[in-house]
Amino acid sequence: MTAISECVSLKPYNTFGIEVQARYFAHINHIQQVQELATSKGMFTQMPKLPLGGGSNLLFTQNYNGLVLYNCLKGIAIDRESSQTVWLTVQGGEVWHELVQYCVAQNWGGLENLSLIPGSAGAAPIQNIGAYGVELKDVFVQLQAVHLASGEIHNFSNAECRFGYRNSIFKTAFKGQYFICSVTLQLKKNPQFNLQYGEVQRTLEQLGYINPTVQAVSHAICHIRNAKLPNPAELGNCGSFFKNPELETTTFEYLHRLHNTMPHYPAANGRMKIPAAWLIEQCGWKGRRIGNTGTHVNHALVLVNYGNATGAEIKQLAESIQQSVLDRFGILLEPEVNIL
Ligand code: EPU
């Protein structure tokens, strides 16, 4: 039997630090608990269920009137290895950055650019976490998940996850339908480093590294992130609140003629990616504070909770920012964060 608590504060379980309650809350230590809750024909079978990892990509705007399944599955195991590659299966409740540190310590390459991303391993595939030129999909092999409606265990290959920019099938067709138990990743013993993001190369030099190593790149990434992104343990936030918009060529060219300092990067299918942070900063929002909410002084894309903000207040701020960017640039910013 799984112990289920009632009326549990979710404040410690979301990095925005929003005070809401879950009607019911269960710590999941074994896959069988999820299967049992999904199929036992008890009161929880039909109830809405929220799989929860590190809560680092979630904005709660109201109490959760269902059952929270808090992923506490732990363990990192080597499935197999060759002279070049290691295949690791990581349980969903592992803390992402601790997994990165473990791989860095073994000198296995692949995750170093994803250092210091808040959240859990099980949540990583949902939005295909990414940073500094690398995305989870680049190292991802497969995952195992419990289908919440049937209790069945399903495996998803890389292609079946339909990864995109901050996107996967778990944010679209199968949204809310699966509890991710484990992910299998493929890491390299002699990695090629991805230093395409100019700041990474510059930081390596600044830190005195001559040749990149797994440790050096991870150190540089942590250095960059610590310099501009607030630590959620100190200031409530969810990292980037919006996705960087991708524009069709004609729209981009039109806007670029009007705003010739607008930064831009080539994206998939001939589109151009524009930093949402730049658009928001141009609208005067960077570092602005409204009550208990605001955008961070060092990064306009990071919305923060200065104290006791409610989710509704943060959502209101996000909508005001969206409106400003829409009025000025004709671009509708799409939240990256899941708003509940
Ligand atoms: N910029 C501004 N004002 C700011 C901050 C940035 O104008 O206040 C402009 C600058 O031109 C800068 C550019 O935005 O060069 C890009 O900024 P940054 O390198 O910080 O990256 P980002 O596009 O804001 C994305 C990801 C981050 C990831 C970084 C590094 C998205 C939505 N966000 O941010 O991911 O860490 O690149 O790869 O794609 C997250 O998803 O939560 C996250 C933090």
pLDDT in tens, 180-195: 999 999 999 999 999 9
One domain for residues 115 and 139: yes
One domain for residues 126 and 217: yes
CA-to-CA dists, residue 139 to 59, 113, 304, angstroms = 28, 12, 31
One domain for residues 116 and 257: no
Do 235 and 304 meet the contact criterion of CB atoms below 8 Å apart? yes
What pTM was estimated for this model as a whole? 0.95
pLDDT in tens, 248-262: 999 999 999 999 999
One domain for residues 201 and 126: yes
Instruction: Please report the pLDDT score of residue 131 as a whole number.
Output: 97
322-328 long-range contacts, Cβ below 8 Å, gap at least 24?
322/242, 324/280, 324/283, 324/284, 324/285, 325/276, 325/279, 325/280, 325/283, 328/279, 328/282, 328/283
Task: Pick the atom of ligand 1 nearest to 129's CA.
Answer: 41
Q: What percent of the chain has pLDDT over 90?
A: 94
One domain for residues 208 and 297: no
Among 228, 244, 271, identify where a domain stops: 228
Pairing of strands 64-71, 49-52: parallel
One domain for residues 224 and 252: no
Active site residues: 166, 240, 336
pLDDT in tens, 45-95: 889 999 999 999 999 999 999 999 999 999 999 999 999 999 999 999 999
pLDDT in tens, 195-230: 989 899 999 999 999 989 999 999 999 999 999 999
43 has a pLDDT exceeding 90? no
Q: Which of 309, 171, 232 shows the shortest CA–CA distance to 14?
A: 232
Of all protein residues, whose CA lies closest to atom 25 belonging to ligand 1?
Answer: 131
Residue 144 Cα to ligand 1 midpoint, Å, equals 31
Confidence of residue 41 (pLDDT cuts 50, 70, 90): confident
Instruction: Please report the pLDDT score of residue 305 as a whole number.
Output: 97
One domain for residues 108 and 197: yes
One domain for residues 119 and 187: yes
pLDDT in tens, 92-135: 999 999 999 999 999 999 999 999 999 999 999 999 999 999 99
Instruction: Please report the pLDDT score of residue 175 as a whole number.
Output: 96
d(CA 173, CA 26): 26
Ligand 1 surroundings by CB, under 6 angstroms: 131-132, 239-240, 243-244, 263, 275, 277-278, 281, 286, 299-301, 336
Confidence of residue 34 (pLDDT cuts 50, 70, 90): very high
One domain for residues 66 and 81: no
Residue 334 Cα to ligand 1 midpoint, Å, equals 15
Of all protein residues, whose CA lies closest to atom 2 belonging to ligand 1?
Answer: 278
Residue 295's domain is classified under what CATH number? 3.90.78.10
Task: Pick the atom of ligand 1 nearest to 281's CA.
Answer: 3
User: Which amino acid is it at 186?
Assistant: Q
Domain total of the chain: 3
Which of 278, 302, 304 for a ligand 1 pocket mutation test, highest count of atoms within 8 Å of Cβ?
Answer: 278
- Count of CA atoms in the C-beta half-sphere (13 A) of 338: 21
Instruction: Please report the pLDDT score of residue 1 as a whole number.
Output: 76
Pairing of strands 85-91, 76-81: antiparallel
40 has a pLDDT exceeding 90? no
pLDDT in tens, 267-313: 988 899 999 999 999 999 999 999 999 999 999 999 999 999 999 99
One domain for residues 84 and 212: yes
Instruction: Please report the pLDDT score of residue 268 as a whole number.
Output: 84
Among 37, 52, 71, identify where a domain stops: 71
Domain containing residue 242: 236-339
C-alpha dihedral (327, 329, 331, 335), degrees to nearest 10: -80
Residue 302 Cα to ligand 1 midpoint, Å, equals 9
Do 313 and 292 meet the contact criterion of CB atoms below 8 Å apart? yes
Of all protein residues, whose CA lies closest to atom 33 belonging to ligand 1?
Answer: 240
Residue 254 Cα to ligand 1 midpoint, Å, equals 23
Of all protein residues, whose CA lies closest to atom 34 belonging to ligand 1?
Answer: 240
Residue 14's domain is classified under what CATH number? 3.30.43.10
One domain for residues 83 and 219: yes
Among 178, 209, 228, identify where a domain stops: 228
One domain for residues 37 and 20: yes
Task: Pick the atom of ligand 1 nearest to 243's CA.
Answer: 32
Task: Pick the atom of ligand 1 nearest to 165's CA.
Answer: 39
